[in-house]
Amino acid sequence: MENLLSLAFDNLSSYDGPKIRKGLRQIEGLLANICLSRGGGKRSKERRDSVMTDSIREDSPTPPSTLLDLTDDPAFYEFFKLQEGFEWNVALRLVNTLDRLLARGADGSNDLLIMNALDLTQGILLLHPPSKAIFGREMYMNLLLDLLEPDFCPAIQSATLLTIVTALIDMPQNTRTFENLDGLLTVTSLFRSRGTSREVKLKLVEFLYFYLMPEVPSIPSAAARDSMPGLLQRSPSKLAKAFVGGGSRENGGRPRADSDACEIRSQEEKQALLGRHLNSVEELVKDLQQSTPFGGAVC
């Protein structure tokens, strides 16, 4: 797997469009193989049996893999462990690629590469939640905010909003970075702009609902944190449980100290912050409390 990642990283580090495209496809192929893996445990056997049954009944779709399915797979376990180190972390390589793509300027082919890189970034953050920690750094969060500028096409803006949401889920420290960089001003300015497409405005409303959700701490208890490395070493199936509070580990796999715990803001505090840039926030909160579109606390 190191060889596959090395080849992809070499292409991603290029300034040549076709090589970058090739590197993105190599990463996509690797993630697809991991997600579609059928081997590695009882769950995979059950899934294989289900696939065989579905092949007989053509009207029944193949069930998608879940993260819990993947944790029984040795390939996913190896991939997860590699992501804990700086050298093989895919998220870092993707955001650095995005940075170079932004410097290339706007054109059709470059826009496609940016969207592909954003889609893969969302995927890797879901497969390896601890990688979200990189967006606690201003340089990487600011990169995403730059992609919301009016110069970029609606498709890029929409994909960027989804990427930001993925980076903020269960990561209050990333939300604080987003706020400190005037992310709320960026988002609300885009919403108020007459040049913003209807599609993007709908995504922005969804983002505001998400932002106003109650926050939950991403730092586990001291006992749970101390036992986490052992769980990872003993049983790949425990990885799914370790994902809860995925932001509790640095990108290199080091458990965070208690002093690293992030401030948790209440819904009222976030409502006040958003109210500085947008009117009728109270109506958004009221609608959110009545409909609970995300089913509870998500960030």
Average pLDDT over residues 133-137: 96
Residue 51: count of CB within 10 angstroms of its CB:
12
| Continuous segment of H or E residues that includes residue 6 | helix 2-12
DSSP 114: H
What average pLDDT does range 113-126 have in this prediction? 96
| Percent over 90 (pLDDT), the chain | 49
**Average pLDDT of the chain?**
77
Greater confidence, 228 or 126? Answer: 126
**pLDDT > 90? residue 103:** no
CATH number, position 12: 1.25.10
Q: Does residue 290 have a pLDDT over 50?
A: yes
* Range of the structural domain that residue 81 is part of: 2-37+73-217+262-291
- In whole angstroms, what is the distance from residue 53 CA to residue 44 CA? 14
Judge contact between 142 and 181, C-beta under 8 A.
Answer: yes
| DSSP assignments along 230-268, one per residue | HHHHH-GGGHHHHTTTGGGB-TTSPBPPGGGPPPPPPHH
pTM greater than the 0.85 cutoff: no
**Token pair 């592909």: residue:** 116
Answer whether residue 230 shows pLDDT above 60. Answer: no
Residue 107 belongs to a domain:
yes
Q: Name the more confident of 49 and 202.
A: 202
Which ranges constitute the DSSP H helices of 57-197? Answer: 67-70, 74-83, 90-103, 108-127, 138-146, 154-168, 172-180, 183-192
Q: What is the DSSP string of 263-291?
A: PPPPHHHHHHHHHTT-S-HHHHHHHHHHH
> What's the total number of domains in the chain?
1
3-state secondary structure of 120: helix
Q: Is residue 254 part of a domain?
A: no
User: What span, in angstroms and rounded, lies between the C-alpha atoms of 159 and 147?
Assistant: 9
> With 80 as the cut, is the pLDDT of residue 235 above it?
no
Lowest mean pLDDT across 122-131, 135-144, 280-289: 280-289
pLDDT tens sequence across 30-57: 998 888 765 544 454 454 444 334 433 4
pLDDT band of 62, cuts 50, 70, 90: low
Task: Report yes or no on 230 lying in a domain.
Answer: no
- The reply to whether 165 falls in a domain is yes
Say if 77 falls within a structural domain: yes
Distance (Å, whole) CA 111 – CA 155: 9
CA–CA separation, 175 and 40 (whole Å): 36
In a domain, 240, yes or no: no
Tell me, yes or no, whether 138 lies in a domain: yes
Asked, for residue 129, whether it belongs to a domain, the answer is: yes
| Mean pLDDT lowest among 174-178, 179-183, 294-298 | 294-298
